[in-house]
Amino acid sequence: MNALRDPHPDDRTIRWLRGADPLGTDTTSGWAHGVQGTEILERIVAADPSVPAAKGASRRGNRRPVLLLAAALLVVGAGVAGAGALLGRPAPVAVRRDLADIDQGMPADLRLDPDIRDARLVATTDGARLYAAALPDGGVCTEIVDLDGRPSGAVCATAAELATMPISVTVPFVDPITLASPIVVGGRVNTPGATTLEARYGDGARREVTLRAGSYYVFVVPIDELASAHRGGLELVALAAGGTQIASADVPATDFSDVQARDAREPIFVSTISTHRDYTLVLGIEGSVNVAGAQTLELRYPDGTTVDVPLGTGGDYRYRIPVTRRGDLATEAGTLIARDAGGDVLASRPVASLAYWRGHA
C-alpha cells in the first residue's frame, strides 16, 4: 500500500483502511491487518478539486484480508540504551498529534476518541518504539516510531475489531522497497494467555519476540533473515506457558510489483477527492476504467439518480461532483457502472465518502 508525494503542497494522498488517517506527504508504504473489504483511495485537498492530481498520485494497495493501516515513515537506527526503563513514558508530541488526527474531519458519531493524554510507550526494541492509546470501547490505537522520533502513522482498532484479530500486526516501510529494506513489525497479541511470541521464517529459523505488559511487541527482522522475510514473509506464533500454540498471524511477502500496473488490473479503479475539513463530502472522483470493451461510465447516486461520467483516452475519467450533491455519498454508497456499446454492464464498484467507509469498517 502506498502514499505518494504530491507536488501540490495543499494536497495529501491517502488510503482509507478501516480507520486509517491522512498520511502526510512523505513517500511511504506499509501493511497491516484488517483491510476494508471495499478498499478506496482518497485524495485530500484543501480547497478546489479542479487542482490537477500529481501524475501517479492515485494508488491502490493490495487487497489483503489482513488492523488498519496508516502508511509509515520508518528508519531503523541504533540500539536503545536501557530501553526497558522507558516503558510507560508519555507519548511524544508528534505521536499525540497523529492520534488526534484520527478524528479529523469526522462527524461526532464516527469519531474514535483515543485517549491522547494517556498515550504511553508500550514496547521497545533496537531500532523502534511502539506507543499505544486506549479507545473508549476497549479498542486501541498504536504507532511505531523510529529513534529520531518520526512516527509511522496511527493505527486503530475498536474492541470488536480486536476480537477478530488473534494478533494485531503492522509492518511499515520506506519507499523504495528493496530486498535490503529493514522490516519492523509491531502490534499486540490479543488472545489471552500468551506468554511467548515467536517469529518463524521461511528458512526454518525461529526467533523469540519479547512480549511487554499488555502483550504489546515490536521487533526488527535480523539482517540475515531479511531476504527470506521479503521473499516469503514470516509467521508470528503466540504460545501459552506450556508451549501450546494459541494464536498465529502471517506477515506476507513484500510485493515488489508496480503499483500502477496493479491499478490497471482493476476493472474500475477509483479515487475520491475530499476536503480534510469534512470527510462526509466527496468533491469529485477520478480513476480509470480498465475492463475490455467499456464504452461508457455512469455514477449512480444512492437515490437512484444517474449521471454520465465522460471517459477519456485509455479509459481515464475525472468528474467534479456538483456542490449540491457533494453530501449524497456521506452515509450511503453510490455505484460506478461501466457498460459496453450495447448498454450491457461490464463492471461496477461502490464509491462513497471517507466517513462512510469508517462507519462500515
Q: Render each residue's pLDDT in the chain as its tens digit; 361 residues.
A: 222 222 222 222 223 222 333 333 333 345 544 333 333 455 555 434 343 333 323 333 322 222 223 222 222 222 333 445 489 999 999 999 989 988 888 999 889 999 999 999 999 998 899 999 999 999 999 999 976 677 888 889 999 999 999 999 998 877 778 888 889 999 999 999 999 999 999 889 999 999 999 999 999 999 999 999 999 999 999 999 999 999 999 999 987 777 777 777 889 999 999 887 889 999 999 999 999 999 999 999 999 999 999 999 889 999 999 999 999 999 999 999 999 999 999 999 999 998 898 877 6
Q: How far apart are the C-alpha atoms of 148 and 107, rounded to whole Å?
A: 34
To 10 degrees, the CA torsion angle through 41, 47, 48, 49? 0
Helix (H) or strand (E) holding 296: strand 296-300
Identity of the amino acid at 161: E
Cell 509467521: give the residue: 235
Distances from the Cα of 83 to the Cαs of 88, 128, 189, 247, 310, in angstroms? 11, 10, 20, 27, 57
Q: Tell which residue, 55, 44, 54, has the closest CA to residue 101.
A: 44
Buried b / exposed e over 33-49, threshold 16 CB at 10 Å, is bbbbeebbbbbbbeeeb
Please state, as a whole number, how many other Cβ atoms lie within 10 Å of the Cβ of residue 255.
16
Q: Between vectors from CA 35 to CA 329 and to CA 19, what angle results, nearest 5°?
A: 55
What pLDDT score was predicted for residue 52? 38
Please state, as a whole number, how many other Cβ atoms lie within 10 Å of the Cβ of residue 82.
7
Which three cell numbers mark 140? Answer: 486501541
Cis peptide before 302 (omega within 30 of 0): no
Helix (H) or strand (E) holding 197: strand 196-201
In contact, 282 and 329? CB cutoff 8 Å: yes
What pLDDT score was predicted for residue 53? 36
What pLDDT score was predicted for residue 185? 94
Domains and CATH numbers, the chain: 2-251 (no CATH), 259-359 (2.60.40.10)
What pLDDT score was predicted for residue 60? 30
In contact, 51 and 285? CB cutoff 8 Å: no
What pLDDT score was predicted for residue 151? 84
Which three cell numbers mark 210? Answer: 519479547
Task: Give 54-86 as a 3 state SS string.
Answer: CCCCCCCCCCCCCCCCCCECCCCCCCCCCHHHH
- For the sheet with 28-32, list strands across it: 2-3, 28-32, 167-174, 184-189, 216-220
Task: Tell me the torsion sign for CA atoms 82, 85, 87, 93.
Answer: negative
What pLDDT score was predicted for residue 17? 27
Which three cell numbers mark 234? Answer: 514470516
Q: How far is CA 13 from the centre of its chain?
A: 12
Half-sphere exposure of 241 (CA within 13 A, CB side): 2
- 359's CB contacts (< 8 A; 6+ apart) are 109, 110, 331
Q: How far apart are the C-alpha atoms of 336 and 77, rounded to whole Å?
A: 46
3-state class of 349 per DSSP? strand
Identity of the amino acid at 35: V
| 336: alpha, beta or left? (left if phi > 0; alpha if psi -120 to 50) | beta
